[in-house]
Amino acid sequence: FDYAMASMRHGKHVLLEKPMTLTVNQAEELVKMSEETGLKLAVGFHMRFHPGTHDQGYFEQRKIG
């Protein structure tokens, strides 16, 4: 949280990993700062275990897509 806020104070876009903060209040502060500064705030969400990420074979076999 502290590093993300400091980064936005210095005009930097921020990419966070989950969890983005430890409290809802901190998350709301980050979103507010992002909106006020016009900087991008994003949370990385890896879908490594989502079934859809393992279906490349379906595209290659033309079953979908």
CATH 3.40.50.720 for domain 2-60, yes or no, is yes
β-bridge partners, 16:
43
The residue extents of the domains of the chain are: 2-60
**Vertex 34, ends 32 and 41: CA angle to 5°?**
125
pLDDT in tens, 36-61: 999 999 998 877 777 766 666 666 77
Q: What is the pLDDT of residue 52?
A: 66
pLDDT in tens, 10-20: 999 999 998 99
Q: What is the pLDDT of residue 33?
A: 97
0.85 exceeded by the pTM? no
pLDDT band with cut points at 50, 70 and 90 for residue 62: low
Report the sign of the C-alpha dihedral through residues 31, 15, 59, 53, in that order: negative
